[in-house]
Amino acid sequence: MKNKIVLPILLIIFLTASAQAATFVVNSIGDGADANLADNICMTATAGECTLRAAIEQANQTVGTDQINFNILGAGVKTIAPLAALPDITETITIDGYTQPGATANSAATSDNAVILIELSGALAGANANGLTLPQSASGSTIRGLAINRFSRVGISLAGGDNIVIAGNFIGTNATGTIDLGNASVGIYGEFAAQSNGNVIGGTTPADRNVVSGNGNAGILFEFQAINNVVQGNFVGLAADGAAALGNDSFGIGFGSFTAGTLIGGDDAADGAVDGIVGARNYISGNASNGVFIGSGIVVQGNFIGTDTAGASARPNNGGIGFNVGSGTIIGGAAAGAGNLISGNTGDGISIGNSSNLTIKNNRIGTTANGISALGNGGDGVEITAGSGNNQIGGAALNEGNIIAFNAEDGIQINDVGFAPVGNPISGNSIHTNGGLGINLSVDNVTANDANDADAGANRLQNFPVITYAQSASTRVVGTFNSTSGTTFRLEFFNSPTADASGNGEGQTFVGAINVTTDAGGDAAFDQIFAPTSAIGSFISATATNLSTGDTSEFSNARQVSGPTAASVTIGGRVLNESGRGVFGAQIRMTDASGNTRYAMTNPFGFYRFNDVSAGATYVLTAQRKGFEFAPRVVLVSEDLNELNFPALSGLP
């Protein structure tokens, strides 16, 4: 009776053991299949031989996370060249090439000194072969320490696999990361027909860095329905030294539609890094198309796009970041380390097409990593094209403004060819030394203001302010503004050491901002003193943003800053109707003998005032208000004039 009971128990124990997770050690570069899939032993028909193919086959038979390690005798790189496509990985697995004796993971901050000794070559694998394929059943797997190259399709296919870690590999290069041995298509591919979520490509330590370069299509590409994926710390289009370009033949990194929740890079300060030298930053350079091409709901932070790892020299992508049918994506951010460096690219730094509700903050676009020296993109800093609206460039809060400088064409171009983009606010940026305008609406050089802003086009061709006077000792700015009546606008003022050749300045240093509300005639005036001092001889310019629509204008005229006068007085008074009541919203124009003009507007009680008027000079003052006529006044000013009134000659009572 005992024997009849014991035998079934032993059989159950044996079957359970054979189904448990196991570690398989590859000891051969051969391609033989496993001889007996039922024995839980990796061995081909040759006694004692375990190939990578046989190890994958055995791992696919077991439950739990299997481990594939390597111990192939002999020095140097061991090249495994399968004669046909390897089997799909259908169970959770860890493949670790760093277990090969002598192999070591990267420890360098801005290069990759990994010693990879296991090369998986597709040179003999035939047509339509991937290096490794991980469908849904392989979710949770890890691939480390491999050079994967020369496959006729993709290096690693995420064919529905979730929560997969791909770290410390060279994909598309030789085992030293220096020679282009690209896979014929994508390096790492989230298959179009299979949703792959929660995967991590790279990581925030040096050992996690992948080099994904030299491939015949994109470096990393998720085309459709892939959410919450993370791409961090990689070289995409650079060689392992971090200096030489070894570009992929299309995008560096691409995420298409329905790929929300994806993070490319990250706020390196949160990772304890110093400005991203080690951490989440990707270096995405040297690629034949955009460095990054993305859709909706993605965060792109802390990356170097178009430069070497020092951020000092160009390693151009064809363009920096491109969009198509995107919404809600964030480029940069106000946190320390969140901004991207987007410089040195052949085309535009950022190109926005058919996209809306994007946020672009705290990036350096056209400079070196220090934000000061020139490393311009070959096109515009930022281009917004037809079908795009409500995209925010910069912001009013601390560290939200971008530096957009030294680009070959415009700093920001909003192109109205086709369906005009509208509602794109531009705020708090440092925009200077670009080849074209600082901000260009409609690609026609300076777009002239029109009365009451009745025209349409890019950003509704928002009118810009007119600066009539700028003075140092703090910064005083005087001028007028005309646009849509009864509307509140944010006027932002900037200082630059030189004026743009167009006469309408760019804006290198943010000085301050005020809100003005236009009257029934669409007019407003300003006379504002800001705390920062602008150097005598520098130039002040301004933009206007309609706070109702989000449309931002081009830059205003550049007005040179004069020094404070040796002695100054005030001129003031009232504008009165025929009944002796104050006239609200009348414009007072004051012109000196040299033609310099200042403006003031009357308050609800009809009072106006000019401060800091040079004494000992003659001025012509005129008052204007629709429905009224006023006589001009000519005055020689030697002291304060506080009752220089303008009674109406004719008009409505």
Residue-wise pLDDT tens digits, 391-405? 999 999 999 999 999
The dihedral through the CA atoms of 551, 552, 554, 560 has a sign that is positive
Token readout for 423 is 């509602």
547 token code pair: 């706070």
Q: Which residue type is seen at 136? A: Q
Kindly give, in sequence order, each residue whose CB lies less than 8 Å from that of residue 427, ignoring residues fewer than 6 positions away: 392, 393, 394, 395, 396, 400, 401, 490, 492, 545, 552
- What was the pLDDT predicted at 17? 38
Q: Which long-range contacts (CB under 8 A, 24 or more apart) does 26-29 make?
A: 26/50, 26/51, 26/52, 26/55, 26/68, 26/69, 26/70, 26/71, 26/72, 26/80, 27/70, 27/71, 27/72, 27/73, 28/72, 29/72, 29/78, 29/79, 29/80, 29/81
Structure tokens at 56: 């994958």
Tell me what pLDDT residue 14 has: 33
- What pLDDT is recorded for position 2? 36
In angstroms, how far is the first alpha carbon of the chain from the final one?
A: 122
pLDDT of residue 592: 86
Residue-level pLDDT at 207:
97
Task: List 614's β-bridge partners, or say none.
Answer: 568
Res 300: pLDDT: 97
Query: What is the DSSP code (8-state) at residue 241?
Result: T
The model's pLDDT over 533-552, given as tens digits with 9 standing for 90+, comes to 899 999 999 999 999 999 99
Q: Assess contact for 14 and 40: CB atoms under 8 A.
A: no
Tell me the whole-structure pTM to 2 decimals: 0.87
Q: Show the low-confidence residues of the chain (pLDDT under 70).
A: 1-19, 268-278, 565-566, 650-653
Dihedral pair phi/psi, residue 57, rounded to 5°: -60, -45
